[in-house]
Structure 1
Amino acid sequence: MNGDMDLRTALLLVVGGGTTYVAFEHPSLGAALLVGVAVVTLLHYLLKDR
């Protein structure tokens, strides 16, 4: 590994962080960590073969 972050990794981190922040600010959306992990996992599986 040469230390460069690919676009997929950056996208997963940004979307997961944003989703976790929104869930944390609005508790009715669910537990912040659970929502963030679920979104990152879903994106990981959707973008895995690209």
Structure 2
Amino acid sequence: MQLAADLGAGSSPDGYGHEYAAEDYLDAWMALTRSDEQRDELEIQRLRDFLRQ
């Protein structure tokens, strides 16, 4: 119960706590799936830009 309340009401300053963004996982997913072997740098950069939006 406390966890649910903390998640709804809690916040922390930028740079602290947990911040999740899809772009942070792109390199790991590409290494895991080996998709970097099938993509060129321009295509990867376009994906990074899209995930930042």
Q: With structure 2 as the length reference, what TM-score do the two structures score?
A: 0.35
Structure having the higher helix fraction is 1
Higher relative contact order (CA 8 A, sep 6+): 2
Larger radius of gyration: 2
TM-score (norm 1): 0.36
